[in-house]
Copies of this chain bind each other. A is one copy, B any other.
Amino acid sequence: MSSPATIRLYDLAGADPDRRFSPYCWRSRLALAHKGLPVETVPWRFTEKDAIAPSGSLLVPVIVDGDRWIADSWTIANYLEDTFPDRPLLFGGAASRQLSRFYSCFADSLVSAIFPFVALDILHRVHEKDRDYFRQSREKRVGTTLEAFTATRDDRLEAFRASLTPLRLTLKTQPFFGGERPLYADYAMFGPFQWARTISPFVLLEAGDPVRIWRDRLLDAFDGLARAAPAYAT
């Protein structure tokens, strides 16, 4: 294997710079770990658009590899697979790369599904300079105040957990979506759950739920990389 230069990851942080809570950045963080690449993460706040301007994106994750700036978690995953083909395969093969796309899109829908449970907790934990941006952009998106949006979360919990049935049935028969070992499909799906626990004490997953057992396996992966991050013990 070649000895690549350290890759920089712009990583969404809260008021506490160590609180890294983006579901999309976590995908990229674990993808980088899967490839065994040296990483330097840079805490980034929602309003720091200038810092990532060379990427052409207004959102993280953004990585910088030498003089190349790459934005968007799916684009980053593909970049890593194509640039470091001699390192462990992130997708698992050519067909697996195609099959991983639905996981990424499904995980995006999980972010929307989890948002009512954590929206107000995010507001309280983002950097002060991000607070107005976060409230305004998210309230516009959900069509109500974050307070009203989050107030219904207990009523939504049963339906949310039921919506995880396809994940649960899969994970009853295999430890990871990728089989015996995690692949990018796992990291994509893990992102929303890691997001929730890094930002909110709300317990989304019941003890004993195969989805939670799988999540905990990913917390343990790479010497406990995701478990070591500031988070709540949900």
Task: Check: A101 CB closer than 8 A to any chain B CB.
Answer: yes
Task: Check: A166 CB closer than 8 A to any chain B CB.
Answer: yes
B166 touching A98, Cβ below 8 Å:
no
The 8 Å CB contact of A170, one of B89, B96, B102, B178, is B102
A74-115 interface (Cβ within 8 A of B): 89, 91-103, 105-106, 108-109
Residues of B within 8 A of A98 (CB): 92, 174, 176-180, 183
Residues of B within 8 A of A101 (CB): 170, 173-174, 177
Cβ distance A159 to chain B, nearest Cβ, rounded Å:
11
Task: Check: A6 CB closer than 8 A to any chain B CB.
Answer: no
With contact pairs A108-B169, A169-B108 given, residues A95 and B103 touching in the complex (Cβ less than 8 Å) = no
Cβ distance A230 to chain B, nearest Cβ, rounded Å:
30
Cβ distance A22 to chain B, nearest Cβ, rounded Å:
19
A101 to B169, CA, bound (A): 9
A179-208 interface (Cβ within 8 A of B): 179-180, 183, 185
A176 to B185, CA, bound (A): 17
Cβ distance A214 to chain B, nearest Cβ, rounded Å:
11
Least CB separation from A172: chain B residue: B105
Residues of B within 8 A of A165 (CB): 105, 109
Residues of B within 8 A of A173 (CB): 101
Cβ distance A142 to chain B, nearest Cβ, rounded Å:
15
Task: Check: A148 CB closer than 8 A to any chain B CB.
Answer: no
Task: Check: A167 CB closer than 8 A to any chain B CB.
Answer: yes
Residues of B within 8 A of A93 (CB): 92-96
Cβ distance A193 to chain B, nearest Cβ, rounded Å:
15
B179 touching A95, Cβ below 8 Å:
yes
A165 to B183, CA, bound (A): 23
A105 touching B178, Cβ below 8 Å:
no
Residues of B within 8 A of A102 (CB): 103, 166-167, 170, 177, 185
Q: Which 5 A-B pairs have the closest CB atoms?
A: A92-B95, A98-B179, A105-B169, A106-B166, A105-B166
